[in-house]
Amino acid sequence: MSGVRTRFAPSPTGHLHVGGARTALFNFLYARHHGGTFVLRIEDTDRERSTDESTRAILESMRWLGLDWDEGPYFQSQRTGLYLEHVERLLKEGKAYRCDCPPEVVEAKRQKALIEGRKPKYDGTCRARTDVDPSKPHVVRFKAPQTGTTVVPDLLKGEVVYDNEELDDLVILRTDGSPTYNFVVVVDDALMGITHVIRGDDHLNNTPRQIQLYQALGYPLPRFAHVPMILGPDKKRLSKRHGATSVEAYRDAGFLPEALVNFLARLGWSHGDQEIFSLQELIDLFDLDGVGRSASVFNEDKLLWLNAHYIKECPQDRLVDLVRPFLERKGYDTADRGKLAVLVEAFRPRCKTLAEFAEKATPYFVREIEVDPAAAKKHLKAAIAPVLADLLEAFRAVERWDVASLERAFLDVVEGKHALKIGKAAQPLRVAVTGTTVSPGIFETLVLVGREWALERIERALEMARARAAG
Ligand code: GLU
């Protein structure tokens, strides 16, 4: 184990979204690459917005992606004592102060400053006071340096310089006794020995305040790496407006975890022009020097392309396991694994998602099928009607509904009686039996569909072909 310690620190106020998942992945990969430790911390200090359900969903999504953590989950809600000790320490050392300015007065001053074009920061009324009654309602503010600059040394952005004059005397403890976000993050990152804070650059502006707190508390700074945001196709920051962005939604739409991981890694990180990476390859190759400096655009077509790739590559047994819940959700009977194995082999080259697979597999699980109109137009022509009629008769007569018997019956009719090439009859038969032009081998398809349904469908196709003759 090296000394590298990273963390993922989600607020459990909703599901794990693409942006959060990418942050988690980068921290995971960085820790794994350097033989370090990946810590999970649930930032549930906002009691009103945090839910156990969100925590559960986030952990489940991380497990599904394969981002296992080495430590935690820690819960900030269980660490209040530590935060309060740190507030006390700052108060005692004169680095924080109690402020009993009524909130409406603070707000009125803020508004006035805004109107007058000044920075709307707290005016420091209580900064030098020593007479604030601790038994009356008050907040605790950090005594931020008022002059000079605070430099954020960022591994991706370089040195970002902030004028201290611009920074407020941050509230670190609210009137209700709860510590605030920027404060607890610093206490936790310091106590948990986090060496690298890798997070979205929407947090960059919090960082100078956090650095001042580190300095006041006498804790060493971690390294910071603020990763550029993910944009939607319209180049605006990716959000719910762009449709489903939660990891769960992608799982439920039939994406494989390795496809999503591969996709997320490439959102902002690259290694030459390589596109396909296994998790192990990512661990071997990932480092911060591969992270780009500009925002990356979420391209769903690329995600579909990757997913199609991983569906093609997936070992048969696992693919069968993966498609099962998708079939079951549609109410299909999945007891016959052999049947599923044949179907996944037939359709995997043509499926971008597992949901698409379940769609394509429908004719093998439900009695009533729809015949694709384009396929019918092309293959169920008047001329094929006599062939279908003879096939129907021959199939009705087969004793055993198996590949060998069906093939024999088919060849007798098609080659023997009608002197047709196999393909000329196989494709119309396929359209008849599945409603589509793609299926496993035609005799296997007949077996999978079963005698009763197959005969029904050929009969119906025959009517369609005859109707064409009449029309
Ligand atoms: N809890 C914060 C969030 O979910 C992350 C804080 C951090 O990474 O420093 O946005």
Q: Which ranges of 288-336 does DSSP label H, i.e. alpha helix?
A: 300-313, 316-329
To the question of pTM greater than 0.85 for the whole model, the response is yes
Amino acid at 82: L
3-class DSSP state of 6: strand
Ligand 1 atom having least distance to the Cα of 43: 1
Angle among Cα 337, 342, 348 to the nearest 5 degrees reads: 110
- Using the mean position of ligand 1's atoms as its centre, give its distance from the Cα of residue 273 in Å: 31
For the chain, the farthest-separated pair of C-alpha atoms sits apart, in whole angstroms, at 108
- Using the mean position of ligand 1's atoms as its centre, give its distance from the Cα of residue 253 in Å: 27
Q: Say what the pLDDT of residue 1 is.
A: 58
Residues 190-231 pLDDT 10s: 999 999 999 999 999 999 999 999 999 999 999 999 999 999
CB 343 within 8 A of CB 333: no
Q: Which residue has the tokens 């805004």?
A: 114
Domain assignments of the chain as residue spans, ordered by start: 1-75+228-313, 81-173, 315-364, 373-470
What is each CA distance from 69 to 14, 28, 252, 396, in whole angstroms?
20, 8, 23, 60
CA 344 – CA 323 distance, rounded (Å): 8
CB 154 within 8 A of CB 226: yes
Ligand 1, atom 7: nearest CA belongs to which residue?
9
Amino acid at 243: G
Ligand 1 atom having least distance to the Cα of 185: 9
- Using the mean position of ligand 1's atoms as its centre, give its distance from the Cα of residue 356 in Å: 35
Q: Say what the pLDDT of residue 469 is.
A: 73
6 lines ligand 1 (CB under 6 A): no
CA 221 – CA 212 distance, rounded (Å): 10
Architecture of domain 373-470: Orthogonal Bundle (1.10)
Q: Say what the pLDDT of residue 89 is.
A: 98
CB 45 within 8 A of CB 75: no
Instruction: Pick the closest to residue 239 from 298, 181, 294 (CA basis).
Output: 298
Say if 1-75+228-313 and 373-470 have the same CATH topology.
Answer: no
3-class DSSP state of 444: helix
Q: Give me the DSSP letters along 206-264.
A: GHHHHHHHHHHHTPPP-EEEEEPPEE-TTSSBP-GGGS--BHHHHHHTT--HHHHHHHH
Which residue ranges of the chain lie beneath pLDDT 50?
A: none
Q: Say what the pLDDT of residue 243 is.
A: 78
CB 64 within 8 A of CB 257: yes
| Domain 1-75+228-313 part of CATH 3.40.50.620 | yes
152 lines ligand 1 (CB under 6 A): no
Q: Which residue has the tokens 């000790």?
A: 85
430 lines ligand 1 (CB under 6 A): no
Q: Say what the pLDDT of residue 198 is.
A: 98
Amino acid at 98: R
CA 14 – CA 51 distance, rounded (Å): 8
Q: Say what the pLDDT of residue 468 is.
A: 85
- Using the mean position of ligand 1's atoms as its centre, give its distance from the Cα of residue 109 in Å: 30
- Using the mean position of ligand 1's atoms as its centre, give its distance from the Cα of residue 9 in Å: 5
172 lines ligand 1 (CB under 6 A): no
Whether 236 sits among the annotated catalytic residues: the reply is no
Contacts 24+ apart (CB under 8 A), 338-342: 339/364, 339/448, 341/316, 342/440, 342/444, 342/448
Q: Of 3.40.50.300, 1.10.8.70, 1.10.760.10, 3.30.360.10, which CATH number belongs to 315-364?
A: 1.10.8.70
Ligand 1 atom having least distance to the Cα of 10: 4
In the set 240, 312, 377, 421, the catalytic residue is 240
| Domain 81-173 part of CATH 3.90.1150.10 | no
CA 243 – CA 405 distance, rounded (Å): 51
